[in-house]
Chains A and B, each alone.
Chain A
């Protein structure tokens, strides 16, 4: 075997490299990796705190605007969350303080998102062909000439 000394040498070098790689790797694995599966568990709390919730839900609006909510609750838009038309609460209130006015979009386009007649909507859902709905076209205030957005009965 004296002529195989170079073989042992190269194998030794190899072994050294493998050990260095394995040891080096173990330092680089994140601490919580593998706690519950092949992933970094710390990411779960990170995901929970990824960002503050932006949408508050309809009932959160009632905390300050209960008169509006009361009207809304009695009408046919009762199930339409305020944020559908007004946008997310988080843009209006932050940490309990009002930071910006709530967006109010009075354009027929907004109403049209739900009520313009197009293929695809359930037939029973109230929808109109804008061009035919009002004789002579929509007035200056659009849909709001006749409808109250919060209680849109005729």
Chain B
């Protein structure tokens, strides 16, 4: 039984939204964040992002495939999960999930298809048997790789990015809305919530891509593009500043207005969330990466490549922690306070082995990388030299080292 300080409504002592609901926005955050990076290249012509454009699209896709799992695992009746699609109640923020998710999945799948279509066809052409059948099916039976067709692909990718970016933002903004729209809970109920979720999604997405890019480049023995790293660091810094500003604004507003809510939120932050909010989210997760990225951005010219890489990697790792802490503090923190506004529950500690436990959370985090690895085996993420042109290396399979998650 959890300890209660003060008075909590007797039903309020249970944390129904567990670690899985922390993982859910964390993973969808990667989806949206990665897509923003692809869009920066395809849509906004940021050519520094060219080396990670395909990687980020693939990452967005792989995380998207996993995004629904934590929700499913958390349901009291997982077998009824599809009811959300069958009898959706559209006044519920959660019902939008089915539709937004499917729509976004469709967009990303289409974009993946158009980006990799040329290579799918080439692989189909030079394979035999089952493999050929598989790629031929993937190519939907049309083998048109004429320059005109590839130009159409190119335009399609652009259009899909243009549709995908708002969809990704909606998908993740709506996750924030799920919390922001709960007027019963003072720690959640703020219109800032979707915006904060969105910005921190960009942070987590870019941070993750920096890490994956560096790791895959190292594994593939490729040169890490300095331009790409510093551009990503710059954008990461930008989104970090916006995110932390908004996170702080929310609290400062509450404190300054000195509303009824503040009298329960203030002890929540300083006692129950002292470690995860003040230490993790604000100091280790925000202040330190801010300084690291400040150095990378402002003193870019003077930095040795290795130093720059190390600093951005460190900052990215810390920011992954920051975003996780933020999700934790929102989801779990909001359930530690009772709606009586008079009581706080003792900290929630997930178990290692349970359906919604730590081990499952780790699996959920690793799973997208496994999928990414499989993805890379089927559709090599690293574009062959002179993409869209016939592969000079004949039917040599992609080297195992190219895989991002080996």
The reply on A47 being an interface residue by CB < 8 A is: no
Interface SS majority for chain B:
helix
List, in ascending order, chain B residues with CB within 8 A of A4's CB.
149, 152
The reply on B11 being an interface residue by CB < 8 A is: no
Cα distance A29–B88 in the bound complex, in angstroms: 10
The reply on A35 being an interface residue by CB < 8 A is: no
List, in ascending order, chain A residues with CB within 8 A of B89's CB.
38
Contact check, B146 vs A6: say whether CB atoms are below 8 A apart.
Answer: no
Which candidate, B31-39, B125-133, B136-144, B242-250, is the interface stretch facing chain A?
A: B136-144
Contact check, B156 vs A9: say whether CB atoms are below 8 A apart.
Answer: no
- The digit string for A2-20, where 1 denotes a CB below 8 A from any CB of B, is 0111110110011000000
List, in ascending order, chain B residues with CB within 8 A of A75's CB.
none
List, in ascending order, chain A residues with CB within 8 A of B308's CB.
none
* B83-135 with Cβ < 8 A to chain A: 85-87, 89, 102, 106, 110, 113, 117
List, in ascending order, chain B residues with CB within 8 A of A3's CB.
144, 146, 148-149, 152
Nearest-neighbor residue (CB-CB) of B88 within chain A: A38
List, in ascending order, chain B residues with CB within 8 A of A7's CB.
152, 156
Interface SS majority for chain A:
helix
The reply on A139 being an interface residue by CB < 8 A is: no
Q: How large is the interface on A (under 10, 10 to 19, 20 to 34, 35 or more residues)?
A: 10 to 19
Taking a contact as CB atoms closer than 8 A, the residue among A5, A10, A21 that contacts B110 in the complex is A10
Nearest-neighbor residue (CB-CB) of A24 within chain B: B86
Nearest-neighbor residue (CB-CB) of B139 within chain A: A6
Cα distance A29–B82 in the bound complex, in angstroms: 11
List, in ascending order, chain A residues with CB within 8 A of B144's CB.
3, 5-6
In the complex where A3-B146, A25-B85 touch, is A9 in contact with B141 (Cβ < 8 A)? yes
How many whole Å from A52's CB to the nearest CB in chain B? 26
Contact check, B142 vs A9: say whether CB atoms are below 8 A apart.
Answer: yes
Nearest-neighbor residue (CB-CB) of A27 within chain B: B86
The reply on A28 being an interface residue by CB < 8 A is: yes
Cα distance A7–B160 in the bound complex, in angstroms: 12
Contact check, A14 vs B156: say whether CB atoms are below 8 A apart.
Answer: no
Cα distance A63–B106 in the bound complex, in angstroms: 68
- The digit string for A35-48, where 1 denotes a CB below 8 A from any CB of B, is 00010100000000
Contact check, A10 vs B87: say whether CB atoms are below 8 A apart.
Answer: no
List, in ascending order, chain B residues with CB within 8 A of A9's CB.
140-142
* Chain B residues with a Cβ under 8 A of chain A: 82, 85-87, 89, 102, 106, 110, 113, 117, 139-142, 144, 146, 148-149, 152, 156
- 10 closest pairs, A vs B, by CB? A3-B148, A6-B142, A3-B149, A9-B140, A28-B86, A38-B89, A4-B152, A25-B86, A5-B142, A33-B87
Instruction: List 14 A-B pairs, Cβ < 8 Å.
Output: A3-B152, A5-B144, A6-B139, A6-B152, A9-B140, A9-B141, A9-B142, A13-B140, A21-B85, A25-B85, A25-B86, A28-B86, A33-B87, A40-B87
